[in-house]
Structure formats: C-alpha cells, structure tokens
A and B are shown apart, each in its own frame.
Chain A
Amino acid sequence: MIKEYEQELFEVVGYDKEVADAIVRPNITYWKDAWRRLRKNKVAIFSMVTLLVIGLSCILIPILSRVDYTGQNVAMTHLKPGSQHWFGTDELGRDVFVRLWMGGRVSILIGLLGAVVSLVFGTLYGGISGYFGGLIDDIMMRIVEVIVGIPYMIVVILVSISLGKGLPSLIIALCITSWTGLARLVRGQVLQLKENEYVLASKALGASPMRIILKHLLPNTMSVIIVNTTFQIPGFMFAEAFLSFIGLGVQPPYTSWGAMAALGQQQMSYYPHELLFPAVAISLTMLTFNLLGDGLRDALDPKLRQ
C-alpha cells in the first residue's frame, strides 16, 4: 500500500490485560465530587463564607468586646452609629453592636438545635417507619400527622403557659415539632430506596434490618437530609425571631434579633438604625442559608454528575 513500515511492527502480540480493564479517570469519592461542584458555585461559596463570618462574630465579639451588652446608660440613648458605638445605642443606651452578636447567638442556637433534633430523631423515625412499612408505618405516620396538625405557635403558647415565657419554652416547643418534616422526607426516600437491588442483595446475604438501614439506606439519603436541613435552619431562626418580635420568645435582659427588631420598630420613624441592623442580620442569614441550600442541592444531585 501507500507507506512502508518496518516489518517488525507487524508482529502479533495479542491483548494487553493491563489496558483492557484500566480506569483512567481519577478515583474520586462522592463527597469530593460534590465539594468540587460546590466550589464552582460562587454564590454558594460566598454564602458559606458570610455565614461563617456571622457565626464567628456571634461567638467571639461578645467575649472580646469590653462593652457589656446589658450595660445601660441613660445619658447615651438613641445614639447614631459612630466611633464609640459602631451601630449606635438603643433607648436604654445599650450598645447595639454587641447586642446584635449576642442576639445572634440565640438565633444560631435555635437554628442548630432544631437541626440536630430533626436530624437525629427525624432521620431515625423516618428510616424505621419507611423500612418496616405496613402497620408500623401506618401508626408512626398518623402520629406525625397529629403533631403536624398542631401549629407551632400553639405549642409555644401551651409550653409557655406551663413553663413560663423564655428561651427554654421555645426550645422545648422546637424539639416537639421540628423533626416531622424530615421524618416524612426520609420515610419517602427509604420507601423508594428499599426496593433497590443492592438492598435486596444485602437481604439475600442475610443482613439485619439495622445494618440495611445504617449501611445502605441512610448513606443514600444523606444528600437529601443535608439539603433539607440547610433549608430548615433559617426556618427555625425565623420562627424564633418572629416569636421574640411578638413577645413570646426571648425575655430581657437576654436578647435576640427578633426582640431587637421589635424594640427598633417602635423607634422606626426617628431612629431607623435600631431596626435596620437586626433586620439586616435576619435577612442576610436567611438569604445566605437559602442560597447555600440551593448550591448544595445542585452539588449533591446525582443526576448532575458528569
């Protein structure tokens, strides 16, 4: 034909076992892959950094600052933001800057607590209900429906009546109601996943129900759980802010963003900054959590894998 080659090149050597089954792509775990995709999402990363800054400020600033958040000074009420009081002072002359971070602690505590309770209890509850199905599932889901049927507000009022207003009542009410959404979600996922062939294979190998739930079902619902929790946290925080705003939540001298906003709202026409700072803090936190949740959902979605 057209070109002559060295005859030696035409020696039959047969197939190459190393090449035939080789995988050239880098070994990448699910979480590494998700992190890679999350990192590409600038909005999500920005949200994450913002949340981190807010969180650290809430922890550190009240400790490092020499100003006491309860310290009143009648001579210095309603000060405008300035060099001494960065965010100004309120009607009792308390420093808004330090109070803001102090109030943030309550918001974060409520948000995280709600998340932990719903994560631990909701996941287990939903997992058991979905895996066993039948009568157990029926009973467990009816219980959830009863709890969902009672508005959070009424639970808070009932608990407040018996235990008194304040943070503990708020937290107890939260523990009672927060887990139902995730329990339902996990149940649905588990119902779907348990028909998967790898679960059947595990059953055929003689695995116990607990092993199947812990090794196969929960790891595969993890992404849904994480995304859902990220969306739930701002919900909890907002509920706290709202309750404090209407006076059912945190009681003085403690404060929270909701309580601060309630105080600021009374002075809104004269001293708008007293409302502005807590309102911005609430909005910013809620927004960044939601944006982060969106980013996580995209990053963890197995359909978007390439």
Chain B
Amino acid sequence: MTKLMEVKNLRVSFHTYAGEVQAVRDVSFSIDSGEAVAIVGESGCGKTVTSKSIMGLIPTPPGDIKENSSILYKGKDILKFSDKEWQKFRGAEAGMIFQDPMTSLNPTTKVGKQIMENLMVHRHMNKSEAFNEAVRMLEVVNIPNSRERVNDYPHQFSGGMRQRIMIAIALACNPRLLIADEPTTALDVTIQAQILELLKDIQKQFDTAVMLITHDLGVVAGMARNIIVMYAGQIIEKGTVDEVFKNARHPYTNSLLNAVPGLNLKSKVQLASIYGTPPDLLAPPAGCAFAGRCKFCMKICREQMPGVTKISSTHEASCWLQHSQAPRINIAEGIRGEQDG
C-alpha cells in the first residue's frame, strides 16, 4: 500500500488570555491509501485539532501551527498551500464529516443543492449532471426516495439521515481521504450502527482512506485497521487494532479498554475508571502527561517524558514502564484488579 498522508512533528498551539495552550504536541503518523485509521482519546486530547490541521481549518490567530510541522499529502506539504490550493484540496481530495449533523448543514438550502455545489465547483459538472449525481449520492448513502428527497431542506430529515447527507456531501467528489470527527457521538445506538455500516461499505466500495475520530473504543474495533491513542496532545500508543486491543502497553489504553463494562462483568462492581481529569495544556506537566492519573506512576514519570518504545514493526507505545529498568508489571491485570478502588 502507498502512503497517502504523512503527518510529521505536528505542533499546534492556541494563544489565549491565560497563555499558550499547546493543543497538539509533536504528533507524527501516516495513513495508507484505502486504509481506516482511528484516533482515540478524550475531549481536549488534540484529536480534533489534528484533523482540523489536516483540513486547513485552524483559524490563525488564535491558532498557531509551529514551524517544522509538516503534513505531506501525496508527497506535497499541505501546510504550505495557498488559499486556492486549499480550496481544491478540501473539496476534491479530502472530505470531512462533523459530530453534529444538526449544525453542519445549511438550514436554508435544499440538501440536493448542497451536494451539487461541490460537484459543480470541483468536478465542473453542469446543473443537470450535478443533479443526477446528487440523486445517486443520496442513493449511495441509503436515503429512500432520493429523487424526491433531494429537494427537501435539512430540517425535514432526522439526525441519522442528516449525518448520511453529510457523508454524501463529503463523498461527492470522490475524495481519497474522509475524516469523520465523532460521526456517531450525537446519534442513538441503533442509528450509530447504521452509520458505521455505511462508512465501512463506503471505505471498501470507493477505496477511500477513512480517519475516524472517536472516544469510543467499541466503535473502533469493528471499523478500523490501525489505531492511534492520543492523550494531552501526544500519541501515547499506536498499532493495529488487534495489537492494541489484545496487548495494550500503555496504562491509559488499558484503562480505556476496561472502562466499558463487559457483558460478563458482575453488576454494580466498580469499573476501572481513571482518576481525575486530563492536565490543562496551558501548562503541560514536565514528565509524562498521564503521570498524575496513572496507577503505576513512577518517580521518573513525573520528571521526564518517556521515549517511544517499538513493540513490533507496527506497534509502539510511549511509557516508562516499557523501559528495561522498569519493574515488570502486568498492566491489564493491575487495572482490572482495581475493580473496587
């Protein structure tokens, strides 16, 4: 597989009255074409800022993408794009779906027209071609009676339907990369299942790379091939889904995996929760960002940032526990054993 996109040493800060908030702190990863990658982490961990940087949607100021950051798309650094190049990139090469389907559609424009706009600008279609293509796109995302509904306004659709329309808009120009930023968080469980099935189909059918951003590990398991776990603006663990789910090395990943009650867990026992809240990136800690909440925090964790440890060719983690001098601890067992504390 070929590398479609490569993010290298991305650092993004926001300038606020209280000081500089370092939202993304040195993040590097790559996406192969046609591949599904999931970025997992809690709100404020920098996953949305990362995706917005890829789409060129970071407002500057207050945002500030640091020098030495680069995002290579098919070998070209998109951070150096002109406004015109960005426009072309956004519609035709990469599409994005947002969390809230209620606010991301223009309420005063017919949904068909919102799809057609993209087609006419980027694929230079005339009106009737674009109309037919819009109808076809709505069919692709399983909207019944698409020929009639193309003339409806967003408020005439339910939440799940609107998210489908968002997907249709994002896919209209057949982009090579689809960024889905928490696409199912605002939806009900049964609708979430529908949307995930749809995304899976689309990824296979169009061979589109999908970057799925979520805080729910359950969503990732059925959807992605590779997974990136972010915490406090940094990648703390990445690998294939099998590696990370079966053999998570970072205590944070382990906690996330155990925070969801399994089907066999006895009722009302305490879940393996994570104590406290993530650090404020206004003043990130000197050592490991997770140290303050980590059950296995060592003295060194509070003083120095851990390096990256390669576990296999695809799996790596940033944690002092992976250091040769660290005590051998079975992290997964340790966290599950916490069930009453």
Contacts and interface: CB of A to CB of B under 8 A. Distances in A.
A and B touch in the complex (CB under 8 A): yes
Given A20-B276, A20-B292, A9 B17 contact: no
Contact of A12 (B285, B297, B324, B325): B297
Interface in A269-306: 306
Interface in A10-50: 10-17, 19-26, 33, 36-37
B297 A15 contact: yes
A296 B307 CA distance: 48
A57 B17 CA distance: 36
B72 interface: no
A26 B18 contact: yes
A15 B295 contact: yes
B18 A21 contact: no
Contacts of A14: 294-297
A1 interface: yes
A8 B295 CA distance: 18
Contacts of A25: 18, 280, 282
B298 A13 contact: yes
B312 interface: no
B16 to A, nearest CB: 4
A33 B293 CA distance: 30
A37 B17 CA distance: 9
Interface string A92-131: 0000000000000000000000000000000000000000
B292 A19 contact: yes
Which has the most chain A C-beta neighbours within 10 Å: B17, B320, B324, B327?
B17
B311 to A, nearest CB: 13
B324 to A, nearest CB: 5
Contact of B299 (A10, A19, A24, A36): A10
B18 A10 contact: no
Contact of A23 (B280, B285, B298, B325): B280
Interface string A245-267: 00000000000000000000000
Interface in B273-311: 275-277, 279-280, 282-283, 285, 291-300, 302-303, 307, 309
Contacts of A2: 307
**Main DSSP-derived SS at the B contact region:** loop
A21 B325 CA distance: 30
Contact of A20 (B275, B298, B324, B325): B275
A83 interface: no
A37 B18 CA distance: 12
Contacts of A37: 17
A16 B297 contact: yes
Given A1-B323, A19-B292, A25-B280, A9 B299 contact: yes
Contact size range, B: 20 to 34
Most A C-beta atoms less than 10 A away, residue of B280, B307, B325, B329: B325
Contacts of A20: 275-277, 292-293
Contact of B292 (A7, A15, A23): A15
A10 B280 contact: no
A15 B323 contact: no
B326 A10 contact: yes
B62 interface: yes
Contact of A5 (B16, B275, B300): B300
B26 to A, nearest CB: 19
B105 to A, nearest CB: 20
A4 interface: yes
Interface residues of A, number: 27
Contacts of B326: 10
Contacts of B62: 306
A2 B133 CA distance: 57
A16 B323 contact: no
B11 to A, nearest CB: 19
B325 A10 contact: yes
B298 A9 contact: yes
Contact of A10 (B17, B294, B298): B298
B268 to A, nearest CB: 24
A19 B300 contact: no
A17 B296 CA distance: 14
Nearest to B14: A306
A83 to B, nearest CB: 49
Given A306-B16, A306-B62, A12 B296 contact: yes
B325 A7 contact: yes
B162 to A, nearest CB: 23
A24 B276 contact: no
Contacts of B320: 10
B327 A12 contact: yes
A306 B325 contact: no
A21 B280 contact: no
A302 B100 CA distance: 20
Sorted from nearest, which 5 A-B pairs have the closest CB atoms? Answer: A20-B276, A19-B292, A9-B300, A306-B16, A24-B280
25 contacts: A5-B325, A8-B299, A10-B299, A10-B323, A10-B326, A10-B327, A11-B299, A12-B298, A12-B327, A12-B329, A13-B297, A13-B298, A13-B299, A14-B294, A14-B295, A15-B292, A15-B295, A17-B276, A19-B285, A19-B291, A19-B292, A19-B293, A24-B283, A25-B282, A306-B14
Interface of A: 1-2, 4-5, 7-17, 19-26, 33, 36-37, 306
Interface of B: 14, 16-18, 62, 275-277, 279-280, 282-283, 285, 291-300, 302-303, 307, 309, 320, 323-327, 329
Given A11-B298, A26-B18, 17 more contacts: A2-B307, A4-B325, A7-B325, A8-B299, A9-B299, A10-B320, A10-B326, A13-B299, A15-B294, A15-B297, A17-B275, A19-B276, A19-B292, A20-B275, A33-B17, A37-B17, A306-B62
